[in-house]
Amino acid sequence: MALVWRSVFLVNLRKQANSPHVILHFISGQPRCFAYWQEFQKCYAKTDSPKECTLPANDYLECLHHPKEMARAAIVQQEYARQVEKASKENKKTADAVADSVTVGVGLIQRQGSEDSKSS
């Protein structure tokens, strides 16, 4: 059982080692959000009211979880999808207009109704 757990652990470690923040941790020796944690901890130690440390706390949480970045990415993705849908609707309208339009002939092929109209 221990051998299975060790192999699963090593596979997960290899997957994590490809992510940029783990590589940065190995190069610099510090976790990616350590500086933000130090700022928050310093503020929290100096103040009597924890409400004064909301900005460093927000910076630290943003570094950890990226909620603002993910919200911006979702907005960009929605706008892109909207623009693609708009372009496809415009292309469909153009294609429908071309398909429904009257075919213009050059006069090389006689149509059935055209001879009757010429003789009158």
Who has greater pLDDT, 44 or 98? Answer: 44
Give me the residue spans of the domains in the chain: 19-85
pTM of the model: 0.50
- pLDDT at position 91, please? 84
- pLDDT at position 3, please? 47
Helices assigned H by DSSP within the chain:
2-17, 20-28, 34-46, 54-65, 67-100, 112-119
User: Do 62 and 40 form a contact (C-beta atoms < 8 A)?
Assistant: no
- pLDDT at position 110, please? 73
Residue 29: φ, ψ to 5°? 85, -5
